[in-house]
Structure 1
C-alpha cells in the first residue's frame, strides 16, 4: 500500500509525459507560405549577440512577403550600430531599425517594446516575435506560420532548443509542460488559467492579437508571454505549444549568475502567490527529490523505482524536445532542488525590492 501510494502519481505523470511527447506538434520543414509576415525583434543592450539572430532572420526562405522590424529599446551599448551595419550588407534591406520610446507609467520594458513593433508591422497577417538570443533555421518562420494555420490557433509557441548555461535547470521548462500540462486539452479549453507560452519565439495571427488587446493587455506582466496567451484565450482565441528544437536554438544565459538573475525576475510571478509557489515546489520535492533519501531504508526498491520514473520523464522530454539526455536526466533530483532554491531566491529578492532586468526595476 505504501509503495503504491508513492509510485502511483509518478507512474501517472510519467505516462502523461509520454503521451504529450507523442502528441507534440512540430513545424514541417521546407515549406512556404504566402502570408504577409512581420518579424518583430526587440533589443536592449544586445550588441554582443544580435548578429547571429538577425543574420538568421535575413536568411529566411519560403516567406516572400516578409518584413523585419528591429527596435532598439534605449540601449546603452552599440546595439543600434550593429543592426545598421547588418542592414547595410547585401540582402539586409529587409531589416528596418526603430528607435524605441521609454515605457510610460504602468508599463514594463518588453511589453512596451513589443507594442511599438506591432504598431509598425503594417498590413501583416502574421506577427512573429523573436528574442535576440534565438537563432532560426532558414525554413523556421515558414514552418511555424504554416503550423499556426494548420492547427487553427491564434497563438503558436514553438519552443526552441535551449543551449548555454544551466543544464541542470533549463530542461525543466520543457519537462514541466510535458509532464503537467494536458497539451490537447489546453488547445481545446477556453480557460485562460490553462495556458503556457515561451516568449523567445511567438507566432500570432494579427487579427487575433488585436482582439486580445495586444501587448497593452499585458503591459505590467513580468511573464508577458503567458499573459498574452491568457489574453488570447479570454478574447475567444486558441493557443498551442510546439517543439521548435529542430528549427531554433536559444542561448538564454551564458553563466549561472545570469541564469539566477533571469529566473529571479520572473519566478515569483509564475505561481499566482507565495502559497501557490510553496505548494508546487513542495510537491516537486516530495515526488522527485525526497525518494532518493530512502534508497537506504526499509523500502530501497520503492525509492529506486520512484527515482527511475523521474529520470524516465526527463529522458522522454529530452528526446521529444532536442535536449541532452545523458547524464543530465539522471541528476533530476538535483535539478528539482536547484529549482526550489531559485524560486525561494526570487521571492526573497522581490520582498527586498532587488529585482531588476536590463537596468530597469521589475
Structure 2
C-alpha cells in the first residue's frame, strides 16, 4: 500500500510540475521587450509617487529625464516625506521636472493610490507611466512602452523590471514575482480576452492611456487597495479595455527591498489581495508544494532506495521540470543564478508569508506600510 501511495504521489508531482513548464514555454517567446517605433507619439508623463525616498529619488529622476524617443515630463509626488526627498528633487534643474506636493491622505485611501491619482490629475501626457521611486528606467523604456500600447491597442502595458537582489533574503522572496507570472498566467488567453480575471501587471512599471485611465476611474476606483498591480489592470479590463504584459528586464531595474525583513514585510502588505484568501491559498499551496518542493524530498529518498523505481523516476522527472521552469525564467529575466537552486526554499518562504498573513489577518486587522496602517479588507 505504501509503495502504491508513493507512486501516486510522485506521479501527481510530475503532472503538477509539468504545468509551469508548459506555460513558461508558451509565455516566454510571447513576452518580448518592446522597441520604440518610428511614430514617436505624444508626450509621456512619468509619474513617481515618493514618500521618504531620499536614497533612491535622485537616480530615479535622472534616469526618467534621460528618456529618449518620446517627449517626457517627470512628476514626483512628495507624499509628506520627512527626509530630504523634496529637497533632492528641487536640486535637479530641468524644466521637464515638477515636484508635486500630495494633499493629506483622505480616509479610505491607501497612500500610493492617492499619490498616483493626484499625479495623474496634474499630468499632461497622452500616456501616463507610473513607476515606483526605486525603479530606474532605461532611456528607451517610455518610448518602447508607448509603442507597445499603440501597436497592441492596449490601454495598459506593464512589465516586471529586472529585479536587483543584494542579499540572500531577497533571493528567497523576490524571484516568485516572475515565476508566478510566467509559470501560471496564460498570456495568449490574456491577450485574446478582456476578462478581468486575466488582468495582471507589475505595479513598479505601468503605462496607461490617459483618457482610458480617467474614464475607468483611475486609482480613485481602487483607492482602498495595496495591490495596484492586480487591481488596476482588472479595472481597465472591466471597463472594456485591453491590457498587456511585456518583458521588462531590459526596460528598467528595481531593488524592491533591502534584506529579508523588508522583503517579508513588503510581500506581506498585499498578500491578502493575492493568494492569502481562504479559498485560493489551499489550492496554491497544493500546486506549489507538489510541483516545486515535494520532488526535492522524494528524489533523495529514491537515491537511498526508499522509493519504488516508478516513484523515483517520476519524482526525478518532476524535479527536472521544476528546475527547467525556474532556470528558463531566471535566465530570461536576468535574475541571479543562485536563485535557481534556492527555488524550493523560495516557494516555502512565499507560502509561509501567505499563510502567516491569512492566519493573522483577523487578529491584526491592518496592514502597515511606509508608516501608515490600513484595514485589511476583502479586495
Contact 2:330 2:339 (C-alpha < 8 Å) held by counterparts: no
Deviations 1:134-155 (A, max 9, x none): 0011111111111111111010
1:126 aligns to 2:127 (yes or no): yes
Q: Select which of 81, 89, 103 maps to 1:83.
A: 89
Instruction: With the length of structure 1 as denominator, give the TM-score of the two structures.
Output: 0.93
- Partner in structure 2 of residue 302 of structure 1: 314
Equivalents in 1 of 2:30, 2:100: separation in Å? 40
Confirm whether residue 319 of structure 1 aligns to residue 331 of structure 2: yes
> Hey, what's the Cα distance between the residues in 2 that align with 1:266 and 1:115?
19
Separation in 2 of the partners of 1:332 and 1:31? 41
Q: Which position in structure 1 is the counterpart of 2:63?
A: 56
Residue-by-residue CA offset, 1:240-263 (whole Å, 9 max, x unaligned): 111110121011001111111101
Moved over 4 A (4+): 29-32
CA contact (8 A) 1:31 1:142 kept: no
Q: Is the 8 A contact 2:13 2:294 kept in 1?
A: no
Q: CA RMSD in A?
A: 1.7
CA distance in 1, matches of 2:295, 2:231: 35
Match of 1:38 in 2: 45
Write the deviation string for residues 259-302 of structure 1: whole angstroms up to 9, x where unpaired: 11101111122037223122212321122112222221313332
**Residue in structure 1 matched with residue 104 of structure 2 by the alignment:** 102
Give yes or no for contact 2:173–2:263 (8 Å, CA) kept in 1.
Answer: no
Partner Cα separation in structure 2 for residue 248 and residue 26 of structure 1:
11
How far, CA to CA, are the matches of 1:150 and 1:39 in structure 2? 20
Query: Equivalents in 2 of 1:50, 1:220: separation in Å?
Result: 25
Of the structure 1 ranges 32-41 and 4-13, higher mean CA displacement relative to structure 2 is found in 4-13
**Match of residue 355 from structure 2:** 344
What is the aligned partner in structure 2 of residue 153 from structure 1? Answer: 154
Structure 2 gaps of 5+ residues are: 1-6, 375-379
Asked if the contact 1:163–1:252 (Cα under 8 Å) also holds between the matched residues in 2, the reply is yes
The alignment partner of 1:221 has SS state of coil
2:377 maps to what in 1?
A: none
Instruction: Specify the alignment match of 1:115 in structure 2.
Output: 117
Equivalent residue, structure 1, for 2:365: 353
Instruction: Give the match's secondary structure for 1:247.
Output: strand
Q: 1:199 to 1:300 in 2, by over 3 A?
A: same
The alpha carbon displacement at 1:332 in A equals: 1.6
* Aligned residue in 1 for 2:80: 74
Per-residue deviation at 1:226?
1.4
The answer to whether structure 1 residue 264 and structure 2 residue 268 are counterparts is yes
Please tell me whether the aligned partners of residues 148 and 155 of structure 1 are also in contact (alpha carbons under 8 angstroms). yes
- Compute the TM-score of the two structures, normalised by the length of structure 2: 0.89
What is the SS of the residue equivalent to 1:40? strand
Q: Distance in 1 between matches of 2:219 and 2:357?
A: 24
Task: Determine the C-alpha separation between the residues in 1 that align with 2:288 and 2:18.
Answer: 14
Shift of the 205–29 alpha-carbon distance from structure 1 to 2, 3 Å rule, reads: closer
1:236 Cα deviation (Å)? 0.4
Structure 2 Cα separation of the partners of residues 313 and 202 of structure 1: 26
Residue 13 of structure 1: CA displacement? 2.7
Matches within 5 A, 1:127-146: 127-146=128-147
The answer to whether the 8 A contact 2:44-2:129 is kept is yes
Q: State whether residues 174 and 263 of structure 2, in contact with CA within 8 Å, keep that contact through their aligned partners in structure 1.
A: no
Conserved? CA contact 1:349–1:355, under 8 Å = no
Gaps of 5+ in 1: none
Q: Per-residue deviation at 1:32?
A: 6.6
Cα deviation, residue 30, structure 1: 8.3
> 2 CA distance for matches of 1:19 and 1:130?
28
Quick one: distance in 1 between partners of 2:95 and 2:140? 19
Task: Give the 3 Å change call, closer, same or farther, for CA 133–354 of structure 1 in structure 2.
Answer: same
Residues paired across the two proteins, number: 355
